[in-house]
Homo-oligomer: A and B are copies of this chain.
């Protein structure tokens, strides 16, 4: 810290370095998934590991805690926006605390266990061999527990809350329990009713659409949604994701000729993530306040564009027209909408319809807590899974591959991640409702594929704000109320409850 610099300015300089290193990492991770030659994984991991170590060293620099205290005690100068400064200080401190919390040996055990387990899982899943996987997953659970305890001590919260905080800053189990309890109150009936009602409907299957046509269609959809191709890309990878860095936001999709809807919905989803990133103020590019660490808020945007917009009855007409442009044939909005809102419980989370999906998550949320606190042993996971699926979705997966081995999250030590998907869906419904409250009904705009008014409102109300301390701070500012299940319930009942 030089003499003419405030502690706050010194911190910003440190963190611009940290964030730019993370940006390098993110660009290289995009490359790993999209362009890296097949044999380069080892050399890539060496390079990414080095970036990880450098970031950790910068975050755990011995003078950072004092600098954070000094900055908190400083008076802000007149030029700095107060909310921006508060957000920066909050998230810089949060990152420093999390990095300092975990002793090197604990972090190494965690890292080693999850790398081993992920490798074993890829093979074991292919062979549907849970017994081989079990001891490796048990190692990850043990290492996660150890890491969670270290984090909890530093953050002064429960171990599970400390894990949650990694994906949802300030997230608390008690709050999530209450929100999820509301879902349990109406979801099972809604599911049964929707399935019953749809039994009478004629089924139609999807015509094939060539990959090349899906690519062109996707670029058109993205452009219509406001994606800026001068500051972003669309590519293809095994699993769709949003990557890159502020100013260079890259989404990926996967196109299956036999399932054009899957490709389109993934593009809408990732474009939602991208619109948030592309519309953050460029001046905050290398500041913590300019990021959006909350997976709930991030997912609220991808899900808003995938579910509220993408599966909307009126928007389906626009989608059908775009499909006719690129794939010819007799696509109709009505038929597309029926396909996109078909309710049909199955064993696989990522293939689940909008009503079944939260039930998949509720099960995982309960099981991951039971695993971590020791109430459930890893060897008993398949049984608990089957029981839980039977109780909530009325089905039992035929294999562990289609059951407790389907997701990478636990294998890779990502405990506390699953609930953000449903919290994000709740936030999406609440934010979309707030947008319609502010702008009036959007049906007409959606029917014409005109999302500019919605995007404009999102930019002004959400994307231009510094990252909040927690999701409720943003929801209050955006919607006038903390996150609740009400709008999500109304949305699901409205679309699947028999009134439509």
Contacts and interface: CB of A to CB of B under 8 A. Distances in A.
A248 interface: yes
A230 B46 contact: no
Interface stretch (A30-38, A147-155, A333-341, A423-431): A30-38
Per assembly, the copies of the chain total 2
Given A43-B246, A43-B285, A285-B43, A51 B24 contact: yes
Interface string A338-377: 0000000000000000000000000000000000000000
Contacts of A116: none
Interface string A48-75: 0011011000000000000000000000
A42 interface: yes
Interface residues of A, number: 36
Contacts of A248: 36-37, 40, 43-44
Contacts of A258: none
A47 interface: yes
Interface stretch (A15-23, A316-324, A379-387, A454-462): A15-23
A46 B28 contact: no
A35 B35 contact: yes
Contacts of A20: 46-47, 50
9 contacts: A24-B47, A35-B35, A37-B230, A39-B231, A40-B230, A40-B248, A43-B285, A44-B247, A46-B286
Top 4 closest pairs, chain A to chain B, by CB: A43-B247, A39-B230, A40-B248, A20-B50
Interface of A: 16-17, 20-21, 23-24, 27-28, 31, 35-40, 42-44, 46-47, 50-51, 53-54, 228-233, 245-248, 285-286
